[in-house]
Structures are given as structure tokens and as C-alpha cells.
Structure 1
């Protein structure tokens, strides 16, 4: 069993090519007893973004706060609190915050996607 609060979980600043203003928190994964999967929370500062990229594993997303854009499969899709998305493996995608307010979203991936 594992119980915690997001405010108690370390925020890691993402430093990779194509990333700007992004932090990641690993909320639940194998270390907390959820074998094979990882639930993370990403936060993008105003003007922040993830890299435009693809990878073999899928992920699912749920927007908690803020507004943004998901580039997925060649199209831009508006995101707002309550938006959900399924990103299939091997499809190019990018999360972007074009607003001033922070954009936060949950991202669940297979364990291989969080290495």
C-alpha cells in the first residue's frame, strides 16, 4: 500500500533536448508497488513544452490544470482541465503551454517509458 500527497513528492526539472520549463513528479510506480506501470505528473511553466518526439510505448494523459496544446499525429489539439488523451506508441507528439498559467497533467506509461 502507498499513500502520499503530490506536495510531498519531489519535482525534478527536466533537462533534455527540446524541453523547456518542464518538471516531473513520479507519483506511483514499481517503487510504490505498481509493477509494470508508472503514473507521473508533469508541469509546464508558461511557454514551456516537452520535446516533439515518439517512442514505442503508449501513454494516457489527464489534464489537471491550465490550458495547453497537444501536438499529436500532425494536428494540434486544445487541452484544458478534464481533457484526456491516448497517445499510441510510435506517434509523434508534444505538449505545449502557450499560456502564462502553469499546465499540469497526469501521464501514465508502461515502466519501460519512465527510464
Structure 2
């Protein structure tokens, strides 16, 4: 998997964008985060696992991953599977983590 943070987007007041690219047959880590995020598919095709549901996705699809939802992206095609992930920036993530530790 290839991951590249976009250098200037961390200057946005509330969000950050990251580009991920997964090679054919590959997948991302199975993850769960305290924050939500949006994913925009730019290249290839694959599947997304959200909780226990797996859905086929391809160019132009948009995926919403709720907070604390188990998720994973898999490349099911024969070309690289690329997507942009939009997440809260570092300042917002710090606030989310601080709120979670107070609960």
C-alpha cells in the first residue's frame, strides 16, 4: 500500500486529506478510529468492509466511515486502487481524543 499525505492540506482549519493506493490483490489494515472520515474513490475498483458489511466500490464512489466503525479497503481489480481519505486534522483529532478520555 502506498500512502502520501498531501503537504498543504494540513493547513486547513478542520480537516486533512491523504491519498492511498493499494496494489492489485492488496488491502489496507483492518482499522477502527475515534473519528469519522470520508473516502473518495479515484482509481480502480475494490471492496470496503464497514462493520460486518462488505460493499463493492469503484471510481467516483464516496464512502462514509462512522466513528469507531471497523473498516478495511481491498483492491479486487487488476490495476492500482486509489482513493483520497478526508479526516479531521491534528488539532481536531486531539480534541476528539481528549473528549474520549473524559468519558
- Give the TM-score category using the shorter length: 0.7 to 0.9
Question: What does residue 54 of structure 1 align with?
Answer: 32
Structure with a larger share of its residues in helix = 2
1:29 equivalent to 2:9? Answer yes
> Does the 8 Å contact 1:69/1:96 carry over to 2?
yes
Which structure carries more relative contact order (alpha carbon 8 Å, separation 6+)? 2
Provide, for residues 28-62 of structure 1, a one-character-per-residue CA deviation record: whole Å limited to 9, x for no partner. 432xx213311111100011111112110110011
Q: Which residue of 1 aligns with 2:99?
A: none
TM-score, normalising length from structure 2? 0.81
Question: Could you tell me the TM-score, scaled by structure 1's length?
Answer: 0.73
Query: Which segments of 5 or more consecutive residues in structure 1 lack a partner in the other structure?
Result: 1-21
Query: Do the aligned residues in 2 keep the contact of 1:29 with 1:36 (CA within 8 Å)?
Result: no
Number of aligned positions between the proteins: 90
4+ residue segments displaced more than 2 Å? none
Unaligned runs of 5+ in 2: 94-103
